[in-house]
């Protein structure tokens, strides 16, 4: 969704109902300038009508602060800090 800006205060979802989403690209901007450093992105996926834990490129204390500051419901996946998606379930 190039050019689609989302903020933590928006109630928005990527993808379409009942349509599998295979790729997600996240870009961060401050005004017209793209940011490459010093930002944290948190997201979670819904699988089989159940929300998975939040994943992020941030460290666990940063994720906890953001969760508390914005009242984000759900767990935090702090076991793997990557934007490649959640760890594979065994």
Q: What is the pLDDT of residues 37-86, one digit of tens each?
A: 888 888 888 888 888 999 988 899 999 999 999 899 999 998 854 455 54
53, 42 contact by CB (below 8 A): no
Q: Which residues pair with residue 54 across a beta bridge?
A: 76
DSSP code of residue 57? S
As a dihedral over the C-alpha atoms of residue 33, residue 81, residue 1, residue 14, rounded to 10 degrees, the angle is: -130
Q: How far apart are CA 39 and CA 19, in angstroms?
A: 29
- What is the reported pTM? 0.63
């Amino acid at each position: 969704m190039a050019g689609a800006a989302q903020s933590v205060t928006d109630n928005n979802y990527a993808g379409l109902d009942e349509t599998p989403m295979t790729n997600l690209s996240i870009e961060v901007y401050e005004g017209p300038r793209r940011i490459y450093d010093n930002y944290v992105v948190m997201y979670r996926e819904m699988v089989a009508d159940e929300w998975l834990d939040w994943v992020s490129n941030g460290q666990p204390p940063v994720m906890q602060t953001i969760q508390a500051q914005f009242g984000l419901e759900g767990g935090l996946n702090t076991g793997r800090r990557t934007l490649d998606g959640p760890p594979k379930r065994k």
